[in-house]
Amino acid sequence: MTIPILSTRRLSLYRGRRCVYADLSFSLYEGVTVLLGPNGAGKTTLLDALVSPDRVKAGQVLLDDEIVGGGKQLQTFHSRLGHMPQHWQHFSGFTAQESVEYAAWLKNVPSRGIRAAAAEALSLVGLAEQGKSRVSRMSGGMRQRVGLAEALVNDPKVVLLDEPTVGLDPAQRAAFREALRARAKGRAILLSTHLTDDAQAIADRVLVVDKGRILFDGPPASLAALAVDTSAPNPLEAGYLALVAEDSEAQVS
């Protein structure tokens, strides 16, 4: 039996006083898992909880089957975690290399290895030649890849990406996905998005969440198979829409 890299156990999450998730349990394994859901479904809330398990009021987050607590345990967890927040911002004046080096420092990469780690991370996302370029002068897609390089610089076991492809044109999205796909081996990547073509392109597994529940957990092909309209150009999107519609009807009835 495969041991999950990251899992949650009876997680209850709140936004203010409103309960967004109650008793949520799921596991992440090696490969890319795409977290799909409509706007406001709680994707960012879930990712924030995984990034900061110490702030969770009820339930547990486990890394390699060990509960992540506070203090040193949390620091160790963070040193093995890569995270790209929804609104990634660049530091004014920083080059790509410097930006990733700073992230490496935040992740406690040993001082002597920071430069090499940053250069390697940039190389992985296809920006080896742009290390000395200022991030502020880069295109949106390149900036997002700098963000991905930051998330990968500490060679993390778990990578959490919150809507990293929003605002990118198709070519930039393709480059970003390619960079991500290349780093999926040996780590669990959870990518939150509401773009089904992201899932179609790189997902090993899809989680669909809405109204505090997991509506679907399985491979992309299985989600596509739920499609009612089989002539749709994107079968995964058709399956996703059918799933959400069916759930809404069930809630009404």
Partner 1 sequence: MRAYVLSIRHSSTLFLGILIAVTCVSLAFATRRDGLNLWPDLVTGLSQSSVYTGVLAAGFCAWEAGRWVGPATARMPGAFRIASVARIIHFVGVVTPIVLGFLASLVTLAVYGLVTGTYGAPSLPWLLVLVCAIVAASALGYAIGVVGGRRWYVAPLGAVLFFVLYVLVQILPLPYGVRSLYPVILNMDSEFVRHIETTMWGQIAAFLAASAALLLIVGGGWRRSSRKHFGIAIVVIGIIGIGGVSLVQSTNGQYVTGFNSRDFACSGDIPEICLNKGYVSAMPELARRFESLNEKSEGTALTATLIEQNVEGIGDEPSANARSVYIEGISELDLSFAISRYVGKYGGGAACNLASVDIDQDEIDQFFAVSIVDTWLTGYDAAGYASNENSEMPGRAQFERFMKLTPAEGNEWLRENFTAYSQCELQLTDLP
What phi-psi label fits residue 211: left (phi over 0), alpha (psi between -120 and 50 degrees) or beta? left
Q: Which is nearer to partner 1, 192 or 196 (CB)?
A: 192
Judged by CB, which is closer to partner 1: 122, or 160? 160
CB neighbour class for 93 (10 Å; exposed up to 12, middle 13-18, buried from 19) = exposed
Nearer to partner 1, 72 or 185 (CB): 72
* Closer residue to partner 1 (CB): 74 or 225: 74
**Contact track, partner 1, 95-134, x by CB under 8 A:** ---x--xxxxxxxx--x--x--------------------
Of the candidates 94, 166, 197, 213, which one interacts with partner 1 according to CB under 8 A?
94
**What's the min distance (Å) between Cβ of 239 and partner 1?**
32
* Of positions 91, 123, 186, 230, contacts partner 1 by CB under 8 A: 91
Rounded to an integer, what is the distance from CA 193 to the centroid of its chain?
A: 8
Q: How far is the CB of 127 from partner 1 (least distance, A)?
A: 18
Q: Is 55 one of the binding residues for partner 1 (CB under 8 A)?
A: yes
One of 13, 34, 46, 81 touching partner 1 (CB under 8 A): 81
User: Is residue 145 within the footprint of partner 1 (CB under 8 A)?
Assistant: no
- Is 10 or 55 the residue whose CB approaches partner 1 more closely? 55
**CA–CA dist 3, 12 (Å, integer):** 23
Stretch that binds partner 1, among 6-14, 31-39, 74-82, 206-214 (CB under 8 A): 74-82
By CB under 8 A, tell whether 92 contacts partner 1.
Answer: yes
212: which 2 tokens? Answer: 């505090």
Q: Which of 40, 93, 186, 219 contacts partner 1 by CB under 8 A?
A: 93
Q: Which sign does the torsion angle of CA 130, 163, 183, 176 carry?
A: negative
- The residues, ordered by sequence, that sit 6+ positions from 234 with a Cβ below 8 Å of its Cβ are 196, 197, 200
Q: In whole angstroms, how large is the CA radius of gyration of the chain?
A: 18
**CA gap 46, 35 in Å, rounded:** 10
In angstroms, the Cα distances linking 177 to 108, 143, 181 are: 27, 14, 6
Closer CB to partner 1, 118 or 180, in the complex: 118
Helix or strand holding residue 14 (H, E): strand 6-15
- 3, 95, 99, 115, 200 from 130: Cα distances, Å: 38, 8, 12, 14, 29
Compute how many residues bind partner 1; rule: CB under 8 A: 36
Binding residues for partner 1, per CB under 8 A? Answer: 48, 51-52, 54-55, 70-71, 74-75, 78-79, 81-83, 85, 87-94, 98, 101-108, 111, 114, 150, 160
